[in-house]
Structure 1
Amino acid sequence: MVDTKLGDVVIVILSQPNSYHADRARRVQIDLMEQMKEFNKEEIPAVYMTHKKWPIIGTWTIFPLLEKWSSDFALKKWIFFCEEETRINLKKFETFIKKFDPTKDLFIGHALKDKEPTIIHHFTSPNKLTFPDFAAGVLLSFPLIRKMRLRWPDENFRADFAIDPKHELASYILLDDVKLTDAPELCLTDPGPKCITHVAQKFPDCGVPVSDDDLFVAVKTCEKFHKDRVPVVLETWAKETNNIEFYSETEDKSIPTIDLGVPNTERGHCGKTMAIMKRAISHPDISKKKWLLIADDDTIINLARLRLLLSCYDPSTTVAMGERYGYQVSKGYGYDYITGGGGMIFSMPTVQRLVDECQCSSNDSPDDMIIGMCLRRYSIPISHVPYIHQARPDDYSEGYLSRQIPVSFHKHWNCNPIQIYNMLKQYDKTSGSNMNTSSKDEL
């Protein structure tokens, strides 16, 4: 056992400024403060929320925090970072850290592994590395943090796009020949007797779902997919709503589709997306809705579950939510954006702001990135929703998916989209309306 105290640790909660997410992070902090009453003051860890302590771009990737941690906590031994749904048993955590030597280069977490090379991990071989689930918590020794800081940014490390921070962090640390130390005691599911951490809930339950009439659904398609992708949507999740329209460059009354006067493009689709937003704001019925979902014709989504999720957010404020990616944010600048395949969700005040002030440089500009740049300019934060997914289920590790109830996936390629939709629906039958893993947050 190593003579390490909780006072040698800094606990960092990867928080978000949106009121719902900030409240969830605050609950982690409050729970820890309650537990700290059982410890001497000089033995308790410092606890910070990133959106309060370091309100800078890209903290969710960890890299912009390396310099801050190195300078602010030079006398500490460990950084332990986690997410807003992480719950920590401090007594068990104190025993846990004594097992490790803080003078070594250590990277400790609950190990995840891909089943096969996947696009979201740059087709890295699954045998090359394991990576930690941030929701279970990650422990970094300060010698490793300082070593990472000294060579960051590394021109040899792919960092322009931030897609999956847990995999990208593990890839960067591997360049120092440091592999993840697997700690199954950092748990993902229900708290067992050996668990030091666990995830508080698999899915939010904020009360009554928003009504179908409060959510308008816009599906982007094109003529070549009218007989391929669109029938899958019509057969599955389109049946969950009475408020849906399909937008194409060609009018097809059999679907039906609406021609917005924007030609189809092979990539980007910014012109079509902005035309959808303009229609939403100007249409007398659509403009009365509280929320706008923009989806692709190969998005696979459970709309009933999305409406339950939306009950956690205030539609009278500027809300933009989905799966968050980033461009250049690992270097402390750039912007976040909502990757479109899993679904982009906006409150109507946000749609109005984008229609008024955001412009595409061309019809084939990348819509998700242009919107991300505009939101950054207007200081509207993107709320990352881990239940929305840009890729297929097979592109995510089983452990990661085990601790959540998903809202959406994306792509019809090399998979059965109807089978995936039925899987999404199956959670409704097995989980009921309350999808939490436990009935209370505290340990």
Structure 2
Amino acid sequence: MRSILILFVFTLSLSISSTEPVTNEFVILLITQPHIYILSQVHNASQFIPPHIPLLYTHSYASSISNWYAIYPLFSSILQQYYQLKWLFICEPQTRFNLSELLAFAKQTNDSYIGYGLYDSEPSIIHHYSFSFDTPYPDFSSGALLSRSVLSLFQERFTSSAIPIDFIIDIKYEFNQLINQLTNTTLADRRDLFCIKHKTNCLTWYDGQYDYSCQRNDVHLDNIYIGIKTFADFHQTRVALLRKTWLDNKLHYNLFTNELDKDTDDRFIAINENTERGHCHKTFTILNYFYKNKGNFKYLIIADDDTLLSIQRVLHVIECFMLSNDLPIVLGERYGYGAYYAYPTGGSGMIFNRQAVQQIVSNCRCPSPDTPDDMFLGLCLHEIDVPLTHIPELHQAQPKAYPKDWLAHQKPISFHKLEGINVEEIYQSYLHENISEPTSPYHIKNEF
């Protein structure tokens, strides 16, 4: 499997590895990751693009550019390679477009930064509580066009400004903020032409909801163990809500808490410690417990006691991404810590195969009990070279933190935080799907 992946990545990287100068004026940049399942989607997308249009892949820069997944760090290399570039079109593997009409539009438009505009409805933690009701940022699923003038001005000012990048959380939002700040250019919201769904006159559109459809059907509930971090004060509140929603009795799980009380059952495991923040020791207790005591399980999910999950969708994400338990891999919502490393943000849920757990517990120890667990895991994964694959359907915040237009073309897998919402209603609206043992290749219907 590893040799197949290496060959696939090499093949898809040829378009940026050539030393020959390329003079094309219109270049397409696909947002990708170095995983064979995602690259199969890229292969499907590439069939819609003629050979004379340069096609680049963000993952191809992973070995040479830190924070490659944030997109803007790639601008310098792209501008140097494509010295006659006039337009860069950034999109996802499921983005479709009428290329001839898109090229004609680019030639005659007076705008220099164009796409489908998303808007915040309220301040959100994932946007550092900074927002504007009337300033759009791009939905890359519909594609975004940037002119060379914007790219060049951005690169010139970004290089000289030395803007510190502390955390990378929502790529499309932070990408847009930097362009606004450094070039004084605002996204032209042309949702009449850059569309979420295909309709008449669309130049671009998104090809339905992202569908994790694989030819495997061999992942079952009996393969998965779930460890949930909790605290005595939340046994009758948060844990009770989880049991009313996704925490079904047929699941194999334990609740790791600081102490037992008269109402706890045998699902609770006391570890006799608690920290107000960080929770590194508690997370590593779950990792070690899984490795030492749950040898008959192949996969581990670690979640907070205020995380809502769709277990049915987790099953099929595992089928698509965890192709071999001989190769370590972690699935999560990827955040970035500056230029240093990426990490799976804990609140949205983290998924490990057994080999990844073995590598982590064998090589990494928490600096202190209250070290931020997810960030330390990211550092650990970086140091031991275990891949982290980003699953955008995992969410660190509540649904209201995200634009409705963006959620509309997703099948969410998780949300985080229970305060101030009707938990059962949110679960039923966004996440509920009956748990069934797979009997045929999985296919998600477009229901939203």
State the TM-score, normalizing by the size of structure 1.
0.87
- Find the aligned partners of 2:162 and 2:44 in 1 and give their Cα distance: 39
Q: Does 1:81 align with 2:90?
A: yes
**What is the correspondence of 1:344-383 to structure 2 with a 5 Å cutoff?**
344-383=350-389
Ranked by relative contact order (alpha carbons within 8 Å, sequence separation 6 or more), the top structure is 1
Greater mean deviation of Cα atoms: 391-400 or 318-327: 318-327
Greater mean deviation of Cα atoms: 305-314 or 336-345: 305-314
C-alpha contact (below 8 Å) 1:360/1:370 kept by paired residues: yes
Q: Does 1:127 align with 2:137?
A: no
Match of 2:6 in 1: none
The C-alpha deviation readout for 1:216-250, integer Å capped at 9, x for no partner, is: 11110011111210100111111164211100111
**What is the correspondence of 1:386-405 to structure 2 with a 5 Å cutoff?**
386-405=392-411
Displacement of 1:258 = 3.8
Q: 2:329 is matched with which residue: 307, 319, 344?
A: 319
C-alpha contact (below 8 Å) 2:312/2:433 kept by paired residues: no
Match of 1:291 in 2: 299
Displacement of 1:340 = 0.8
- Figure out how many residues of one structure are paired with residues of the other and give that number: 412
**What is the correspondence of 1:94-243 to structure 2 with a 5 Å cutoff?**
94-101=103-110, 106-127=112-133, 129-152=135-158, 157=163, 159-175=165-181, 176-184=183-191, 185-189=193-197, 191-202=198-209, 203-207=211-215, 208=217, 210-239=219-248, 241-243=250-252
**What is the correspondence of 1:249-260 to structure 2 with a 5 Å cutoff?**
249-252=258-261, 254-259=264-269
C-alpha contact (below 8 Å) 1:302/1:407 kept by paired residues: yes
Displacement of 1:196 = 2.6
Structure 2: give runs of 5+ residues left out of the alignment.
1-22, 436-440
Displacement of 1:127 = 2.4
Displacement of 1:292 = 0.7
- Find the aligned partners of 1:324 and 1:361 in 2 and give their Cα distance: 22
Q: Does 1:27 align with 2:44?
A: yes
Structure 1: give runs of 5+ residues left out of the alignment.
1-5, 37-43, 439-443
Aligned partner of residue 178 in structure 1, secondary structure: coil
Q: Does 1:266 align with 2:276?
A: yes
C-alpha contact (below 8 Å) 1:118/1:124 kept by paired residues: yes
The C-alpha deviation readout for 1:143-189, integer Å capped at 9, x for no partner, is: 11111111225768562100101111111111122110112222223
Q: 2:72 is matched with which residue: 53, 57, 63?
A: 63
Q: 1:10 is matched with which residue: 5, 21, 27?
A: 27
Q: 2:312 is matched with which residue: 304, 312, 336?
A: 304
Displacement of 1:254 = 2.2
Displacement of 1:53 = 4.7
The C-alpha deviation readout for 1:2-32, integer Å capped at 9, x for no partner, is: xxxx941111111101221222223222332
Displacement of 1:379 = 2.2
Match of 2:11 in 1: none
- Find the aligned partners of 2:91 and 2:445 in 1 and give their Cα distance: 19
C-alpha contact (below 8 Å) 2:121/2:133 kept by paired residues: no
| Structure 1 residues 25 and 154: alpha-carbon distance in aligned structure 2, compared to 1, 3 A threshold | farther
Runs of at least 4 residues of structure 1 off by over 4 A? 153-158, 425-429
C-alpha contact (below 8 Å) 2:260/2:270 kept by paired residues: no
Match of 1:90 in 2: 99
Q: Specify the code of the residue in structure 2 equivalent to 1:133.
A: D
Displacement of 1:125 = 3.1
The C-alpha deviation readout for 1:274-303, integer Å capped at 9, x for no partner, is: 1100110101xx222221110000001111
C-alpha contact (below 8 Å) 1:205/1:436 kept by paired residues: no
Aligned partner of residue 93 in structure 1, secondary structure: helix
C-alpha contact (below 8 Å) 1:18/1:381 kept by paired residues: no
| Structure 1 residues 437 and 11: alpha-carbon distance in aligned structure 2, compared to 1, 3 A threshold | farther
- Find the aligned partners of 1:244 and 1:270 in 2 and give their Cα distance: 19
C-alpha contact (below 8 Å) 2:58/2:71 kept by paired residues: no
The C-alpha deviation readout for 1:342-374, integer Å capped at 9, x for no partner, is: 100111111110011011100100110011011
- Find the aligned partners of 1:256 and 1:154 in 2 and give their Cα distance: 59
C-alpha contact (below 8 Å) 1:9/1:76 kept by paired residues: yes
State the TM-score, normalizing by the size of structure 2.
0.86
Q: Does 1:435 align with 2:441?
A: no
Q: Specify the code of the residue in structure 2 equivalent to 1:294.
A: I
